[in-house]
Amino acid sequence: MRNVTIVIPVYTDWETLKKCLDSLKKYVADRHRIIIINDMSSEWKQMERQIQESMEGCKNMKYYKNPSNMGFVKTCNRAVEELDQTDNDILLLNSDTEVTEGFLEEMLEVLYLYEKHGVVCPRSNNATILTMPVKNNLDRLLEEEVSYSVFQQMRDKLPRFSIIPTGVGFAFLVKRELIRKFGLFDEAYGPGYNEENDFCMRVNQYGYNVAMANRAYVYHFESKSFGAAKEELDVKNGRRLMERYPYYQELVQKYFHHNIDPLEYYADLISEGVYEKKRILFDLYEIPAAYNGTAQYGLAIYKKFYQLYHEKYDIHVLINDMADRLFGLSKAFPNVWYPYNISGTYHLAFSPSQIIHIENLIIINRVSLKYVFCMQDIISIRSNYLLVNHYERLDVFRKAIQYCDAMTSISQFSLNDTMGYYHDEFEQRKILTKVIYHGIWEDGGTPDKQTLPFHEYYMVFGNFYRHKFLKETLPYLLEMEHNFIVLGSDETGKIGKNVYGYKSGNLSDEFIAFLVSSARAIIFPSIYEGFGLPILDGMKYNKKVIATNSELNRELKKEFENFAENIYLFDELKELKKLVKIVDREPDPVYRDGRKEIRTWGMAAQELETFLEKVLLQKTDGELLKRRWEDMRYIEDVHRMYSAGNGESVKQSGYARLKTYLRLHHPSVYIFLRKLKRNVTGKESHDVK
């Protein structure tokens, strides 16, 4: 059985020393030696009397005093080289500490698990890299009892030990073998600060590492020994350390960026009792700087969620700066972050759209313990003409599904379609899912009234994507006697004598509301949708809807049964003429039981909150988190490497990043360049919105 000599240099501050000695008497076995060495402050006589009184009856405690004040470093060296003549391993213990049950035996066992474990340090409430939790979002150290509570919650979740770049001298267990080979502290660092870092760097050159014992804990209280000289000493000795080991700072940074265990990284979030409120990040990274269904869903559900639950949760939002300029979130809400300045970590991130860019997943991996995302649709995967220009989405979607803690969808159809395409991912593990439909703003705002080309018209929804089926529909509209306004045409202007088009993307919600509210009815020819927004518009503005007979529209007709009699489904475009005549004769909607019922954004936000609360209450899947962390960290490193490299593959990567940047931050420039490319090459370049 191995023995340890505990060395406690003493200067002033009896109150903290008394806590230390009392805890040692309680938790250290008699076979271990304890050396208390008085470094002769102006209060040394009083300290001596108090120490000797405290030692009475403790046979394993020995008291010494220096001939004069020597400083911390020389005192430690004297104790080890002169006063302790045993072969014991050495635990250097600050006088401003308090040990806990089992700390020493656990540290000793970890020290001898492997030959190249040279130093072992315990967890603590105040010990830089050893602090439990090592970071938090409070901008201050946690109270001692909270830190110890986190330690107790995490001790069996974390590995028994972690290899760290350096130790901290407050509780520093060293193999006697290393002291014999390499000496202890370099006295150039006297009276103190960074001497332990120098020692760790020195012995590491020969392959010896520092192990952090994750199941041992020692309280560390603020030292009063150095007083006002503390900062000056730290800077001076830090400069000396960097001169000897220029890689020291980078080594520590790389530990936190590369080697830290994700359970360690997120310990403050995994544990209960650290935060009064759960921290939720609304991830609007994928929201474009344009008005469309993706933006509408994400912005509306965020705004309502914040309105209803900002007192229950600490809610933050991530958005690109161009979209923020358009939608003005930072002017209306607190805690708005951009991708390049996001700070802090979160219990959960929710993305109200599918995650399209790997950069988004990289950010989520770094800032959120858990994440949930909404798969609105997978048309950009289903349709090869869309997929071929953005083939990376195939795997970005796959990664998002593989590592998510749960998933929502805007319809059962969209969820089933996703599960059908990515069936392997859903077969490998059970993923918690929830359908949360779009909602409607109850007040609707004030419509942006403008002069329209027709007094009476039918509103047609679509855009240039093939699945919207607009090009195929236009010839049938031109043959009819009725007037039509098309939202989503290639350009704004007259298409025929009875058809006028508005180009979508930059039209305000207020103007679209005016178009819909002034229409006779709505035509919705799209073949593929994640959700049928025009059907909700029909419900809100009392308009009948003529729509494609698709699985989604049948689902919505069944879901919104109170409005179902006002939804007319067609299989072929030639049926449009007949259905328009039917609606024209009876344009006023009929509601079941005579009651109009609409689905509000408040309902959607309440459903989302119930679902997210369920995810928050679930036990963290440590294995899933570790797989996610390792995979995404590797992708991040490769992404960074190719971003900074040379060669054709890097040029292509740079071109892709430039496209992404322009699309998110400067959409008008992006659209102009896309048009220019189409005119020059004759090829279309699409991004699904």
Confidence of residue 436 (pLDDT cuts 50, 70, 90): very high
**530-554: pLDDT as tens digits:** 999 999 999 999 999 999 999 999 9
pLDDT-wise least confident of 215-229, 318-332, 462-476, 546-560: 215-229
pLDDT at 689: 34
Class level of CATH domain 458-597:
alpha beta
pLDDT higher than threshold 70 for residue 686: no
Look up residue 627 and give its amino acid: R
Residue 472 in tokens: 């195929």
Burial class for 606, CB neighbours closer than 10 Å (0-12, 13-18, 19+): middle
Q: Are 197 and 166 in contact (CB under 8 A)?
A: yes
Helix (H, G, I), strand (E, B) or coil at 3: coil
**Can the peptide bond before residue 191 be classed as cis, meaning omega within 30 degrees of 0?**
yes
Most confident of 291-295, 556-560, 645-649: 556-560
The number of C-alpha atoms within 13 Å of 482 and in the hemisphere containing its C-beta is 26
**Whole-angstrom distance, CA of residue 193 vs CA of residue 638:** 37
pLDDT (average), residues 629-639: 90
Domain(s) of CATH 3.90.550.10: residues in the chain: 4-270
pLDDT higher than threshold 60 for residue 92: yes
**178-209: pLDDT as tens digits:** 999 999 999 999 887 899 999 999 999 999 99
Sign of the C-alpha dihedral, residues 119, 122, 127, 129? Answer: positive
pLDDT higher than threshold 70 for residue 676: no
pLDDT higher than threshold 80 for residue 222: no
Sign of the C-alpha dihedral, residues 120, 126, 132, 134? Answer: negative
Query: What is residue 551's DSSP assignment?
Result: H
Q: Are 282 and 318 in contact (CB under 8 A)?
A: yes
Backbone angles phi and psi of 229, in degrees to 5 = -80, -5
pLDDT at 651: 40
pLDDT at 672: 61
Chain-centre distance for alpha carbon 217? 28
Closest of 376, 367, 366, 323 to residue 346, by C-alpha:
367
Confidence of residue 667 (pLDDT cuts 50, 70, 90): low
pLDDT higher than threshold 90 for residue 332: yes
pLDDT higher than threshold 50 for residue 157: yes
Query: What is residue 83's DSSP assignment?
Result: I
pLDDT (average), residues 644-649: 43
**Whole-angstrom distance, CA of residue 372 vs CA of residue 612:** 8
Instruction: Enumerate residues 6+ apart whose C-beta is below 8 A from 554.
Output: 569
Residue 248 in tokens: 């020291």
pLDDT at 583: 95
Closest of 580, 568, 577, 574 to residue 534, by C-alpha:
568
pLDDT (average), residues 453-466: 92
pLDDT (average), residues 53-74: 94
pLDDT (average), residues 288-303: 90
pLDDT-wise least confident of 53-62, 590-599, 655-664, 671-680: 655-664
The number of C-alpha atoms within 13 Å of 214 and in the hemisphere containing its C-beta is 20
**374-395: pLDDT as tens digits:** 999 999 999 999 999 899 999 9
More confident residue, 594 or 60: 60
pLDDT at 137: 97
pLDDT at 229: 67
**Measured at the alpha carbon of residue 662, what is the angle toward residues 656 and 666, in degrees to the nearest 5?**
175
Residue with tokens 């959700």: 531
- Bridge-based pairing state of the strands 89-93 and 117-123: unpaired
pLDDT-wise least confident of 10-19, 131-140, 348-357, 660-669: 660-669
Sign of the C-alpha dihedral, residues 503, 504, 509, 514? Answer: positive
If you write DSSP's letter for every residue of 673-685 in order, what string do you get? HHHHHHHHHS---
In percent, the amount of the chain with pLDDT more than 90 equals 80
Altogether, the residues listed in the chain come to a count of 689
Q: Are 165 and 251 in contact (CB under 8 A)?
A: yes
- Bridge-based pairing state of the strands 433-435 and 4-10: unpaired
- Bridge-based pairing state of the strands 522-524 and 458-461: parallel
**Whole-angstrom distance, CA of residue 606 vs CA of residue 608:** 5
**Whole-angstrom distance, CA of residue 203 vs CA of residue 186:** 12
Give Cα separations from 406 to 401, 402, 501, 502, 569 (angstroms). Answer: 8, 10, 40, 38, 33
pLDDT at 653: 45
pLDDT-wise least confident of 211-225, 338-352, 417-431, 518-532: 211-225
Q: What is the mean pLDDT of the chain?
A: 91
CATH superfamily of 4-270: Spore Coat Polysaccharide Biosynthesis Protein SpsA; Chain A (3.90.550.10)
**Whole-angstrom distance, CA of residue 429 vs CA of residue 510:** 44
Q: Are 168 and 94 in contact (CB under 8 A)?
A: no
The number of C-alpha atoms within 13 Å of 62 and in the hemisphere containing its C-beta is 12
pLDDT at 643: 59
Rounded to a whole number, what is the distance in angstroms from the first to the last CA of the chain? 68
**Measured at the alpha carbon of residue 316, what is the angle toward residues 313 and 321, in degrees to the nearest 5?**
165
The number of C-alpha atoms within 13 Å of 437 and in the hemisphere containing its C-beta is 19
This prediction's pTM: 0.88
Class level of CATH domain 279-435:
alpha beta
Look up residue 16 and give its amino acid: T
Domain(s) of CATH 3.40.50.2000: residues in the chain: 279-435, 458-597
pLDDT at 226: 52
Closest of 140, 138, 197 to residue 172, by C-alpha:
197
**Whole-angstrom distance, CA of residue 313 vs CA of residue 324:** 22
Residue 527 in tokens: 């073949």
Confidence of residue 645 (pLDDT cuts 50, 70, 90): very low
